[in-house]
Structure 1
Amino acid sequence: MITAAQIRGARAMVGLSTEDLAADSKLPVASIQTIESDIASADAKAITAVRAALEARGILFLPSGSQDSGGPGVRMKSWDEEEGIRPENLNATNDD
């Protein structure tokens, strides 16, 4: 199970507003706000849609204790060099 904090963090990592995430997941903005504030009261299908939308943007959800003794978290998927330029290497000369 993912947490509301993971959803908020993932959305911030990929630079999405609640409106953007609602559009990506085909949900109303109110559903996104509910998931991010009180995930326990949110619809399971809505949580699944939000998770899928964020994973499509490159997010990995990490369960508690998956990397060390820490809690649940999020990170970006491993970068495949064939996919293009790494984000940290983008600049004005290669930004198309």
Structure 2
Amino acid sequence: MITSAQLRGARAMLGLTTETLAAESNLSVTTIETLERDVSSADAKALVAARAALEARGISFLASGSDDAGGAGIRFKHWAEDGGIRPENLNATNDD
């Protein structure tokens, strides 16, 4: 089970509007807003659709305790395949 905070965070990480996520998951904006407020009161099929749309864009949802002792979270599945620079390697000389 993913949390509302994970959904909000994943959408923010991708820079998506609620409208874009709604369109990509075939849900209404109101349904996305409901999921982001309280997943426990939402339709399970809607949650699956929103999660699938975010995962298709490269988000990975982490369950509580799945990464050492950390809590539930999100991260990108893969780094850029186009030769992008990892965050720890960013500096003033490669800042475009």
How high is the TM-score relative to the length of structure 2? 0.84
The corresponding residue for 1:65 is 65
- How far the C-alpha of 1:70 sits from its partner, in A, is 1.5
Between the aligned partners of 2:34 and 2:61, the Cα distance in structure 1 is 19
SS, match of residue 70 in structure 1: coil
- How far the C-alpha of 1:90 sits from its partner, in A, is 8.4
The corresponding residue for 1:35 is 35
Give ranges in structure 2 of 5+ residues lacking alignment: 88-93
Q: 2:84 aligns with which of 80, 83, 86?
A: 86
SS, match of residue 27 in structure 2: coil
The corresponding residue for 1:15 is 15
Between the aligned partners of 1:53 and 1:19, the Cα distance in structure 2 is 13
Counterpart amino acid of residue 8 in structure 2: R
**Which deviations, in whole Å up to 9, do the C-alpha atoms of 1:50-96 show, x marking residues without a partner?**
0000000000000001112121000001236xx324276784xxxxx
Q: Number of residues paired by the alignment? A: 89
Between the aligned partners of 1:90 and 1:74, the Cα distance in structure 2 is 26
Which segments of structure 1 move beyond 3 Å, counting only runs of 4 or more?
87-91
Between the aligned partners of 2:52 and 2:95, the Cα distance in structure 1 is 26
Counterpart amino acid of residue 84 in structure 1: D
Give ranges in structure 1 of 5+ residues lacking alignment: 92-96
Q: CA RMSD in A?
A: 1.8
How high is the TM-score relative to the length of structure 1? 0.84
